[in-house]
């Protein structure tokens, strides 16, 4: 699954979960293939993000889990503060979870 701003949506992408408007009304169910009209309607109704199936868009700034972990190690190099080390563990956990959720 991938969460995308409405401007990134293309017809043919499939919803991963329901799409709601600002008032919490369901605009579209899950597993529905998007059409041009639906996307237009989302943007008119002020929907900002829609979660779709798979990872149809390659986002140049997104990193792999390995890259993320490597950079994390580098940022924490030489740090011995107990609180910071625990924060590091939390971030590690977060990264694992994030990448587990986004892999197909």
Q: In this chain, which stretch among 11-19, 26-34, 85-93 interacts with other proteins, using CB under 8 A?
A: 85-93
CB of 88 to other proteins, least distance (A): 7
Contact between 20 and 34 under an 8 Å Cβ cutoff? The reply is no
Cα separations in angstroms, 26 against 20, 29, 37, 93:
4, 7, 16, 32
Return residues touching other proteins (CB under 8 A): 3, 5, 8, 22, 46, 48-49, 59, 61, 68, 71-72, 74-79, 81, 83-84, 86-88, 90-91, 93-94, 98
């Amino acid at each position: 699954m991938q969460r995308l701003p409405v401007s990134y949506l293309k017809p043919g992408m499939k919803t991963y979960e329901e799409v709601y408007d600002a008032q919490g009304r369901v605009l579209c169910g899950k597993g529905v293939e998007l059409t041009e009209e639906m996307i237009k309607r989302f943007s008119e109704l002020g929907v900002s993000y829609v979660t779709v199936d798979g990872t149809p868009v390659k986002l140049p700034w997104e990193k792999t889990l390995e890259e993320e972990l490597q950079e994390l190690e580098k940022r924490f190099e030489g740090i011995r503060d107990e609180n910071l080390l625990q924060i590091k563990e939390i971030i590690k956990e977060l990264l694992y979870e994030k990448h587990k959720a986004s892999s197909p």
